[in-house]
């Protein structure tokens, strides 16, 4: 099934160079064949280092996920780095307030490419139960691109593990070359996003139009 | 007329610190993203070498305008929001709010509901204190192992909460005049099993840490708080009792049915970080005592006051202030009603916020590494500080 | 009335009020009754003598209210109170009793409420209220931080969210909102910023605000 998925998404012919019979014979003899892309993605997805960035209640479930009962270490994500320079995954766990939003974007800018964001909990996706707040940012995806959203308030540790596996599958599907390669493999797309400033009544600007546009089918009509 | 106790002391730069080798003061900002600040908390620290000269806490990074939402939501609609105040201890937050509204509206709580409230509150206190021990030791450098032990026990308590209320952390369980739903059939046996197994874990945890020389060296004599300053600054909870002041709201106000249980209140002598840690360790034992007595004596009966209305709840115009001994200190709610379905003013008195008032006083003159320990020993939760 | 564990120290509010008036001449106090079942009545205190009354409450040997538990700000905008009164009027030569609605305009003000307890004698609460002149210019109140250090952060929060300025507060600046913020969000007439472009499950007032964006865009 993995092979089929890769064939469906890949436009490269390199994966079809060796047929399956030969590949399995070689594996039995102890010779392992793969593509550079697969190896690169395998290494990356199994050693994602999260940034230690818990904001609110969801942070406690994130800590619980990394504890002995639901072990996040088996996915390679045991080391929660304190510094953004050493991390490649930012799990935004908790409510992002407008006072905190510039800091979140700054931290995202400081992370080296390739970097991923998981928005954990209802508050990080869209403001959550505190949506009607003057200080609550209605979703972190207004300023930075988010890869995986986890609904829940707070999401169970199993949900965070599922999100982690979803992110791993997403990384697996990324290509090194070709027109659909991700941002970190392109030289023309910037990886830094503008940091909002504190205005007199609200953040300035209220959202980043390149990252997020309000969906047109929103609400009940 | 004005006593000097209420003024902020200043650290004097002694001539020895300006012997030509040290230069200007260093100003650093610890946080809001920092591994040891227990959430999005920032401290602007001014250092003379390694010693703290000035410390200003900055918060508001988690200000979710809980009080404004309280004014636009109904009384019962605010109950899930109280879970998210001190997100470790959602059941005690619920109880404090329910207590205040019961005072406001004159509702009475049946016996069984009172016992359930005491059982869940003491379970919450146990898991909060054990988590604090884990986090404090992580700040000290024992990277992860005590926290793993603490969270293992916490998971057992959360399993109990989940089978009772349906949620691990945000329980939303108390109602005005009682509790939301009755205990499942074998919940009491599971709780008794937990109460029987916990002392063994507690002894193991204590034995591993009590005489650990790093713990003793880093906590004894650090962050000393004098009792008069603690009282004047409104400090409550285990931090106050570690200074030697005997003020436990369970004994003073005797809310609920706490006057039926025999338990002691541990007090400290010196008011340093070690005393706060030990007071919490001993409080866990006392909580276990209360838990055992409550599990033994819980009667059958209804769990909600029959007079209490869930829908269309409009208390008479007036105000009430209710408070409980939450694991972090005195948690109070002040609600003003004007006869409409929503409160007119809804205010939370958060223990962590008030306990932070004397953070600067305790840290002046200490090393920068001690600031982390002192902050950890205050036991703050940013959901409560910022609301 | 102060609830407490030691009955010798329990006094009624009237007795406390009389003693304060005796100790601090010129102080104007008023007991505000509480209509709910909690029975927690409070004392309204005038602003010029607020600080001296606070010191008296803290240092008085019978009260020893050394612990300020809670400091709350409340916004009372201007309202019109309608009361029905029965008056006698001459109608067509005959004196009759009729009911008429009298409207009184109560001006707006901001209020600060202090809940005071005693850790020494374990009694409380004594509830103290201070009011500003209005909601616009006369928003100065004496700070009680020199008396109870516990009020330091809470008064800063009230300044931030309501706009009450506390005189002789050691460090009066915003605590929860950022420094460049101009409004006082907990006031009843605060309008929050319009960032409701996307509402998946909007209803009520929020749906109206979200639909405005869809019509204009």
Q: Are A218 and C182 within 8 A, CB to CB?
A: no
Whether residue C6 has pLDDT greater than 80 = no
Per-residue pLDDT, averaged over C99-111, amounts to 84
pLDDT in tens, B328-349: 999 999 999 988 889 999 999 9
pLDDT band for position C23 (cuts 50, 70, 90): confident
Q: Which residues of A touch B84 (CB under 8 A)?
A: 56-57, 129
Q: Nearest CA to C115 among C27, C37, C54? A: C54
* Residue B247 confidence (pLDDT) above 60: yes
Residue to test with chain B: of A64, A99, A156, most B Cβ within 10 A:
A99
Residues 163-182 on B with a CB inside 8 Å of A are 168-170
CA-nearest residue to B62 within chain A is A97
Inter-chain contact A198–C195, Cβ cutoff 8 Å?
A: no
Determine the pLDDT at residue A206.
80
A-chain residues near C217 (CB < 8 A): 214
Q: A172-206, pLDDT tens digit by residue?
A: 888 887 777 777 777 777 778 888 888 888 888 88
Percent of chain A scoring above 70 in pLDDT: 89
User: Which of B97-111, C88-102, C195-209 shows the lowest mean pLDDT across its residues?
Assistant: C195-209
Residue C90, pLDDT > 80, answer no
Which pTM does this prediction carry? 0.89
pLDDT of residue A12: 46
Domains and CATH numbers, chain B: 66-386 (1.10.645.10)
- Judged by a CB distance cut-off of 8 A, whether residue B34 touches chain A is yes
**B296 and A CB contact within 8 Å:** no
Average pLDDT of the segment spanning B315-327: 91
Percent of chain B with pLDDT over 90: 42
Q: What is the DSSP string of chain C?
A: --EES-GGG---HHHHHHHHHHHSTT--EEEEP--STT---EEEE-STTHHHHHHHHHH-TTT---EEEEEEEEEE--EEEEEEEEEEEEETTEEEEEEEEEEEEEPPEEEEEEEEE-TTT-EE-EEEEEE-S-SSS--EEE--TTT-TTHHHHHHHHHHHH-PEEET-TT-S-SSS-TT--S-TTSTT-------S--TT--THHHHHHHHHHHH-
State the DSSP H helix or E strand holding residue B124, giving kind and residue range, or none if neither. Answer: helix B111-140
Q: Which of A87, A94, A82 is nearest to A155 (CA)?
A: A94
Rg (CA), chain C: 23
> Residue C158 above 80 pLDDT?
yes
Closest to B159 in 3D by CA, of B129, B176, B184, B131: B184
Q: Are B373 and C100 in contact (CB under 8 A)?
A: no
Contact flag B169-A154 (C-beta cutoff 8 Å): yes
More confident residue, B39 or A149: A149
Question: Which regions of chain C carry the CATH code 3.30.460.80?
Answer: 3-75+110-182
Q: Which fold has domain C3-75+110-182?
A: Beta Polymerase; domain 2 (3.30.460)
The mean per-residue pLDDT over the stretch A125-135 comes to 85
Residue B17, pLDDT above cutoff 60: no
Please give the Cα distance from A75 to A73 (Å, whole number): 5
pLDDT tens digits, one per residue of B171-228: 899 999 889 888 998 999 999 999 999 999 999 988 888 888 888 888 888 889 999 8
* Residue B260 main-chain phi, psi, to 5 deg: -90, -10
pLDDT of the residue at B284: 93
| For residue B4, pLDDT beyond 60 | no
Rg (chain A; Cα; Å): 20
Question: CATH topology for A48-169?
Answer: Rossmann fold (3.40.50)
Q: Tell me the shortest Cα–Cα distance from B69 to chain A, in angstroms.
A: 7
Instruction: Name which of A128, A66, A71, A61 is nearest B168 in CA terms.
Output: A61
Interface size B-C, in CB pairs within 8 Å, comes to 120
- ipTM for the predicted complex comes to 0.87
Beta bridge partners of C82: C103
Task: Please give the average per-residue pLDDT across A106-119, as a whole number.
Answer: 90
- The per-residue b/e assignment along A200-211, b for 16 or more CB within 10 angstroms, e otherwise, is eebbeebbbeee
Q: Flag if B330 and C34 touch (Cβ within 8 Å).
A: no
CA–CA gap between residue B114 and residue B95 (Å, rounded): 10
Residue C58 has pLDDT above 50, yes or no: yes
Tell me, what's the pLDDT at A185?
75
Q: What is the side-by-side strand order in the sheet with B26-30? A: B26-30, B42-48, B51-58
Å between B186 CA and nearest CA of chain C = 37
Q: Does any CB of chain C come closer than 8 Å to the CB of residue B59?
A: yes
Q: Which of A52, A84, A99 sits opposite B61 (nearest CB)?
A: A99
For chain C, what is the largest distance between any 2 Cα atoms, rounded to a whole number of angstroms? 71
Domain boundaries, chain A: 2-33, 48-169
Choose between B178 and A207: higher pLDDT.
B178
* pLDDT classification of B273: cutoffs 50, 70, 90: very high
pLDDT at B5 > cutoff 90? no
Residue of B nearest to C53 (CA): B1
Mean pLDDT of all residues in chain A? 83
Q: Nearest by CB to C35, which of B1, B245, B316?
A: B316
Q: Which of B59, B61, B131 to mutate to test the interface with A (most CBs of A within 10 A)?
A: B61
C146 to chain B, any CB pair closer than 8 A? The answer is: yes
Q: Two tokens at A48?
A: 């994602």
Q: Which H or E run contains B354?
A: helix B351-355
Counting residues of chain B whose pLDDT is more than 70, the rounded percentage is 94
Neighbors of chain C by Cβ distance (3+ pairs < 8 Å): A, B
Averaged pLDDT of chain C? 82
């Amino acid at each position: 099934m993995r092979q089929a998925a890769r064939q469906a998404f890949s436009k490269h012919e390199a994966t079809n160079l060796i047929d399956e019979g030969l590949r399995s014979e070689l594996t039995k003899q102890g010779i392992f064949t793969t593509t550079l892309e697969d190896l690169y993605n395998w290494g990356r997805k199994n050693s994602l280092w999260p940034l230690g960035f818990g904001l609110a209640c969801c942070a406690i479930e994130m800590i619980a996920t990394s504890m002995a009962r639901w072990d996040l270490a088996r996915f390679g994500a045991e080391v929660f780095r304190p510094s953004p320079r050493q991390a490649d995954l930012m799990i935004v766990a908790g409510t992002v307030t407008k006072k905190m939003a510039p800091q979140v974007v700054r931290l995202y800018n400081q992370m080296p490419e390739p970097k991923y964001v998981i928005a954990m909990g209802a508050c990080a996706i869209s403001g959550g139960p505190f949506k009607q707040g003057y200080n609550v940012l209605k979703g972190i995806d207004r300023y930075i691109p988010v890869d995986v959203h986890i609904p829940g308030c707070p999401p169970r540790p199993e949900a965070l593990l599922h999100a982690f596996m979803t992110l791993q599958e997403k990384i697996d599907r990324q290509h090194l070359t070709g027109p659909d390669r991700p941002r970190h493999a392109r030289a023309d797309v910037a990886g830094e996003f503008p940091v909002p400033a504190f205005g007199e009544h609200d953040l300035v600007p209220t959202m980043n139009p390149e990252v997020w546009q309000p969906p047109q089918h929103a609400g009940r009509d | 007329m004005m006593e000097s106790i209420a003024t902020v002391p200043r650290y004097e730069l002694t001539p020895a610190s300006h012997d030509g080798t040290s230069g200007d003061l260093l100003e650093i900002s610890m946080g809001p993203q920092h591994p040891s600040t227990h959430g999005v908390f920032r401290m602007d620290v001014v250092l003379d070498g390694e010693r703290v000269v000035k410390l200003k806490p900055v918060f508001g990074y988690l200000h979710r305008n809980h009080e404004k939402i309280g004014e636009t939501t109904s009384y019962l609609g605010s109950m899930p929001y109280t879970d998210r105040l001190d997100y470790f201890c959602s059941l005690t937050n619920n109880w404090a709010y329910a207590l205040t509204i019961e005072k406001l509206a004159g509702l009475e709580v049946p016996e069984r509901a009172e016992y359930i409230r005491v059982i869940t509150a003491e379970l919450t206190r146990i898991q909060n204190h054990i988590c604090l021990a884990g986090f404090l030791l992580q700040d000290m450098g024992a990277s992860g192992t005590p926290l793993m032990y603490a969270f293992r026990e916490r998971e057992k308590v959360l399993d109990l909460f989940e089978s009772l209320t349906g949620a691990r952390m945000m329980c939303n369980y108390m109602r005005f005049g009682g509790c939301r739903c009755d205990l499942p059939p074998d919940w009491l046996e599971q709780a008794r099993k937990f109460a029987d197994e916990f002392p063994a874990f507690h002894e193991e945890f204590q034995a591993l840490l009590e005489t650990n020389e790093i713990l003793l060296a880093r906590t004894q004599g650090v962050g000393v708080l004098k009792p008069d300053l603690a009282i004047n600054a409104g400090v409550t909870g285990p931090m106050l009792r570690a200074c030697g002041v005997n003020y436990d709201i369970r004994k003073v106000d005797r809310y609920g049915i706490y006057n039926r249980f025999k338990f002691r209140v541990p007090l400290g002598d010196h008011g340093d970080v070690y005393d706060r840690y030990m007071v919490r360790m001993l409080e866990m034992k006392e909580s276990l005592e209360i838990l055992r007595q409550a599990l033994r004596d819980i009667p059958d009966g209804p769990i909600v006051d029959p007079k209490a209305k869930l829908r269309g709840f409009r208390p008479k115009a007036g105000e009430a202030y209710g408070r409980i001994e939450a694991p972090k200190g005195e948690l109070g709610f002040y609600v003003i009603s004007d006869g409409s379905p929503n409160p007119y003013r809804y205010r939370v008195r958060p223990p962590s916020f008030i306990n932070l008032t004397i953070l600067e006083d305790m840290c002046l003159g200490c090393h920068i590494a001690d600031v982390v320990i002192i902050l950890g020993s205050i036991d703050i939760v940013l959901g409560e500080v910022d609301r | 009335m102060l609830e407490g564990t030691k009955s010798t120290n329990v006094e009624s509010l009237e007795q406390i009020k009389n003693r304060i008036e005796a100790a601090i001449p010129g102080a104007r106090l008023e007991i505000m009754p509480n209509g709910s079942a909690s029975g927690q009545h409070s004392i309204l205190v005038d602003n010029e003598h607020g600080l001296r009354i606070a010191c008296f409450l803290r240092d008085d040997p019978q009260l020893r209210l050394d612990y300020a538990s809670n400091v709350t700000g409340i916004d009372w905008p201007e309202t019109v109170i309608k009361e029905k009164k029965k008056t006698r009027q001459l109608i067509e030569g005959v004196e009759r009793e009729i009911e008429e609605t009298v409207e009184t305009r109560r001006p707006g003000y901001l209020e600060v409420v202090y809940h005071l307890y005693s850790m020494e004698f374990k009694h409380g609460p004594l509830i103290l209220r201070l009011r500003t002149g209005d909601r616009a210019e006369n928003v100065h109140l004496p700070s009680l931080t020199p008396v109870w250090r516990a009020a330091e952060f809470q008064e800063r929060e009230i300044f931030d969210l309501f706009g009450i300025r506390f005189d002789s507060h050691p460090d009066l600046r915003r605590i929860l909102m950022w420094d460049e913020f101009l409004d006082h969000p907990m006031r009843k007439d605060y309008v929050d910023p319009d960032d409701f472009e996307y509402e998946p499950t909007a209803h009520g007032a929020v749906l109206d605000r979200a639909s405005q964006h869809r019509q204009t865009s």
